[in-house]
Chains A and B, each alone.
Chain A
Amino acid sequence: MAERGSGRPDPGVAPAATTARDRRLEREAVRRQRARRGATIAAVSTIVVLGGFTALILTSPGWDEVQRTFFSPEDFAEVFPEVLEAFWLDIRVFMVVEVVVLVLGLVVAIARLAKAPALFPVRMLAVVYTDVFRGVPTILLIYLIGFGIPALDLEGLPTEPVVLGGIALALSYGAYVAEVYRAGLRSIHPGQREAGLSIGLTESQAMRHVVLPQAVRRVGPPLLNDFIALQKDVALISVLGVAGEAFRVAQIEAQSTFNYTPLLAAALLYLCITIPMARLLDWWDSPERARG
C-alpha cells in the first residue's frame, strides 16, 4: 500500500502514512456500501419472485380444492401423530439397512479389486452382483424378494415383509455403494500402497492401514448422497404391505378420506431427515473442511 504513493514526490513521511490510512478507510467504506446494496437487491428479488409465485398459486381457480385435499390443517393435525409413529419404523429400517449396505458394499468393492488369480470366482461374483443389482429397478427387486422368497416355502427363510423389504433395499443399495467404494479405492495413488509395502506391510495391511482409510474419507460425500436416496426409498417397502410404515399409513389414511394431506405429513417427515443430511453433505464437501 505504501509503495503506491512512492511514485510521486512526498512532502514527508507522516502525511504519506495519513493518506494511506485514508485510502484504506475509503476502500472499506465503498466495500461496505457495495455489500449493503447487494443484500438489499437479494432481499427484494427474493420477495418479488416468491411473492409472485405464491400469488399465482393462491389466485389459481383450483386453489381452494387443492388446499382442501393437500393442505387441510384439520386432517394434518389428526393424522400427524399416527404418521410420525409409523415413521419411526422407517428410521429403524433405514439405520439397519444402512449398516448392512456399508459393510456389503465394502466387501464387494474389495472383492472386485482383488488381484490374486485364486480369487477369480470371487471377483466374477462381485462383478455380476453389481451389474445385476444396480441394473434392476429397486421396486422390482422389492417385489421379487418380498413375494418370491416366501413363495419358495423353504424352512428358515424370513417371511416378514419388513425384513424381506430391508434385504431387497440392502442388496440394491449395496451394489451402488460398492461402486462408490471402488472408485474411492482406485483414486488413491498407487504410490501409497507401495510406500506401505516398502515399510514391510503385507498387502492386506497396506489396504487396511494405508489405502482404505484414505479412500473412505474421500467417498464420504457420495456415500451420504446414496443414503439420502436410501432414506426415501424405504417408503418403497410399503408395496409389500409392511404394516406401520409411514408412507403406507399415510396412503391408507388418504384413501379412506380421499384427502392427500396425510401424504404431505409423511413428506414433511422425510424432509426432516434428508435436509439435515444434505447440509451435512455440503459441509463435508466444503473446501474449508478439506483443508482441516
Chain B
Amino acid sequence: MSAPVIEIRGVTKAFGDLEVLKGVDLEVAEHEAVALIGASGSGKSTLLRCIDLLEDIDDGDIFLDSEVITDPSVDTVGVRRKLGVVFQAYNLFPHLNVIDNVTLGLVRAGDTNREEAEAQALKVLARFGLEGRERERPDNLSGGQQQRVAIARAFAARPRAMLLDEVTSALDPELVGEVLRAVRDLRSEGVTMLLATHEMGFAKEVADRVGFLHEGRLLEIGPPAQLLEDPQEPETKKFLRRLLEAGRA
C-alpha cells in the first residue's frame, strides 16, 4: 500500500487551558474518505484547521504526502495550495461574484492565467449544478447553492485532499441533500477526503472509515458498518445512542 496522503501523529492542541486535541493519530490513504464524528467540542474542526495550518499545533507532527507540514520552516502557503477546505459557514467572498470566488485562488495562488481559470471554474461550477449562476453575488444564492460554490472553490485547483468541516450543519434540512450529492460526486471520482460530519447516514454511505472523536482523542476508528453498528468503546455507544434518541441516525 502506498504512503498515506495525510498522516497525523500524536497531535495536541490547546487554547489556553482548554486542551482540544490530546494526542491524535490518524492516516488518510490515497482515494480514501475518512469521516470524523463526535459531539460539538470534541475537536473535529480543530483537527481539520490544524491540517490546513490555520492553527498551530502544540505537539506531534502532520505529514502531507510523507512530508512534514507542521515545522515552523515549512512554506504554509504551498501546503494550503495542496489542500481544499470547505467551511461550515461557507465563507464565500461576498464582494465577488460566484465565478470570481472560484478563480481568485486559481489566478493569484496558482500560475493559471485568467482565461484558463475562468474555463476551469465554469467547468467545476457546472459540475456542481451551478451553471447560469456564475455572475451572481453569493448573497443571492440559497445556502445549498453557496455551499456548492464553496466546494467548487476548494476543488477547482485539484487539491491532494479535501477537508470538509461539517458542510451541511448551517443548512436548512431541505438543502442538505444537494450538498451531500456534491460530496458524493467528489467521492465517486476518488477524491481523498477527511470530513467532519453530523450526518451519520451520510458518513456510513460515503466514508471508507469512520472515526469517533471524544474530548480530543480518537477513541476508535473502523469501517462504517462496524463503528456505527457495533462500536467497542462505551463512549461511542453512548454517543450513538444519544443520536438515535434525537432521531439523527
**Chain A residues near B (Cβ < 8 Å):** 189, 191-192, 194-202, 205, 209-210, 213-214, 217
Contacts and interface: CB of A to CB of B under 8 A. Distances in A.
B109 interface: yes
Given A199-B153, A209-B108, A214 B94 contact: yes
Interface residues of B, number: 24
Interface of B: 52, 54, 76-77, 80-81, 83-85, 87, 89, 91-95, 104-105, 108-110, 153-154, 157
A198 B154 contact: yes
Contact of B80 (A191, A192, A198, A214): A198
A134 B94 CA distance: 33
A191 to B, nearest CB: 4
Contact of B109 (A189, A191, A200, A214): A200
A198 B88 CA distance: 14
B80 A210 contact: no
A191 B89 contact: yes
B72 to A, nearest CB: 13
Nearest to B77: A202
Contact of B108 (A189, A198, A205): A205
Nearest to B82: A200
7 contacts: A191-B91, A195-B85, A200-B81, A200-B108, A209-B108, A214-B94, A217-B95
Contacts of A217: 95
Contacts of A202: 77
A214 B96 CA distance: 10
Contacts of A199: 80, 104-105, 109, 153-154, 157
A192 B93 contact: yes
A197 B154 CA distance: 11
B80 A195 contact: no
A192 B94 CA distance: 9
B87 A200 contact: no
Contacts of A210: 93, 104
Nearest to A203: B77
B77 A200 contact: yes
A169 B204 CA distance: 66
A210 to B, nearest CB: 6
Q: Most chain-B CB neighbours within 10 Å: which of A189, A202, A209?
A: A209
Nearest to B102: A199
Given A209-B104, A209-B108, A195 B94 contact: no
Contacts of B108: 200-201, 205, 209
A214 B92 CA distance: 12
Contacts of A191: 87, 89, 91
Contacts of A214: 93-95
Contacts of A194: 54, 87, 91
Contact of A197 (B54, B84, B157): B54
A37 B155 CA distance: 61
Contacts of A200: 77, 80-81, 105, 108-110, 157
A213 B96 CA distance: 10
A167 B124 CA distance: 52
B101 to A, nearest CB: 9
Given A198-B83, A200-B157, 4 more contacts: A195-B92, A198-B54, A199-B153, A200-B109
B66 to A, nearest CB: 21
Nearest to A199: B105
B137 to A, nearest CB: 9
Contacts of A192: 91, 93
A192 B109 CA distance: 16
B156 to A, nearest CB: 9
A213 B94 CA distance: 10
A121 B81 CA distance: 32
Nearest to A216: B95
Contacts of B91: 189, 191-192, 194-195
B95 A213 contact: yes
A214 B84 CA distance: 23
